[in-house]
Structure 1
Amino acid sequence: MTNIHEYYDSMADISVSIRGAVENLELAKKNVQEALIAINALRKQGDTTISFVSNVTTNDVHRNLLFLELLLNQNSGLVQYFVFQELLSLTTYESSQEEFQLW
């Protein structure tokens, strides 16, 4: 009988862990959405660096946040076409800019 009890205890532990993971994913989605709102406000001023000690620009942060949003949505089984399209256009724009700078 100890095997059955251990099995149900393990299933209960797994259930609690999954619930915590789902809650953390939802919190991460909310935080990414808030960060996207904040970075979009900064992007209106142009592609500027985030701090004096870093070369990271607002477009870099925006691209990374879009990628995180896609990753989090895929964990839920969702794919938002417009976020994917925006991320794709950002990477296409940057690669064409890099090719332009080579000439």
Structure 2
Amino acid sequence: MINVHEYYDKMADVSDATRQAIESLELARKNIQEALIAINGVRKQGDATISFVSNVTTNDVHRNLLFLELLLNQTFGLVQSSVFRELLELTNYNSGGEEEF
């Protein structure tokens, strides 16, 4: 059986990893939004392949970005749910200042 200090150290690790994961989700959403803006500008010129090496078209890229955006929105919706927030509060152990997810 682990002692109390090890338990709180593990909870601090979980809390920190969760915070980093949420920040990564937010960054991914931002990057996908920027990529969608860029690909929409290219798509106005028509559906063309994006390189000479590949058969991937701008419409394919746009569709894949929309899928990723949908997936991230669903994941982020879970992160914002009250049940997930309650779980975060259980694992949120801070030895320093206040941090809010």
Q: Taking structure 2 as the reference length, what is the TM-score of the superposition?
A: 0.73
Aligned position for 2:11: 11
Structure 2 residue matching 1:17: 3-state secondary structure: helix
Report deviation, 1:76.
Answer: 1.1
Moved over 6 A (4+): none
Cα-Cα RMSD: 1.5
Unaligned runs of 5+ in 1: 79-103
Aligned position for 1:66: 66
CA distance in 2, matches of 1:76, 1:27: 11
Please tell me whether residue 27 in structure 1 is matched to residue 19 in structure 2: no
Counterpart code for 2:72:
L
Moved more, 57-66 or 69-78: 69-78
Aligned position for 2:77: 77
CA distance in 2, matches of 1:42, 1:31: 17
Aligned pairs for 1:36-47 within 5 A: 36-47=36-47
Unaligned runs of 5+ in 2: 79-101
Q: Taking structure 1 as the reference length, what is the TM-score of the superposition?
A: 0.72
User: Could you give the per-residue CA deviations for residues 39-75 of structure 1, whole angstroms, max 9, x where no partner exists?
Assistant: 0000000100001111000000000000000011111
